[in-house]
Amino acid sequence: DGGITQSPKYLFRKEGQNVTLSCEQNLNHDAMYWYRQDPGQGLRLIYYSQIVNDFQKGDIAEGYSVSREKKESFPLTVTSAQKNPTAFYLCASSIGWEGVYEQFFGPGTRLTVL
């Protein structure tokens, strides 16, 4: 079955630690995205990647970093510079970058900073 996997489902981190969230897709999609969702809010774009070895900042990229070394993988690192990292993180992918394609989402990772 094709789809997007995110791991882990729940993640706890101590303040000051970096943590990496995994996102893998086997849909052969070119574009991938990371979103953050806070309670009672919509999704906000952190980073996106149109193709391998290329990525761009979204609206709230400060304190986050990404890499896109393989087409199927787009890991997100939440660094200690992110002031308020506790949130629900969603990874998505789409066939292409043009704005007519639906985005397919993974199940999400809930990050809690202790």
Query: Is residue 40 involved in binding another protein (CB under 8 A)?
Result: yes
Q: Are strands 76-78 and 64-66 parallel, antiparallel or unpaired?
A: antiparallel
Stretch that binds another protein, among 16-24, 34-42, 69-77, 79-87 (CB under 8 A): 34-42
C-alpha pair distances (Å), 5 with each of 40, 91, 100, 114: 24, 9, 23, 25
Using CB under 8 A as the binding rule, whether residue 99 contacts another protein is answered as yes
Q: Are 60 and 45 in contact (CB under 8 A)?
A: yes
Task: Considering the complex, state which of residue 8 and residue 96 has its C-beta at the smaller distance from another protein.
Answer: 96
Q: Does 74 bind another protein (CB under 8 A)?
A: no
Locus of tokens 């094709």: 2
Among 45, 52, 60, 61, binds another protein (CB under 8 A): 45
Chain center to CA of 78:
10
The secondary structure of residue 105, as a DSSP letter, is: E
Give yes or no for residue 41 binding another protein (CB under 8 A): yes
Contacting positions for another protein (CB under 8 A): 31, 33, 40-45, 48, 58-59, 88, 90, 92, 94, 96-108, 110
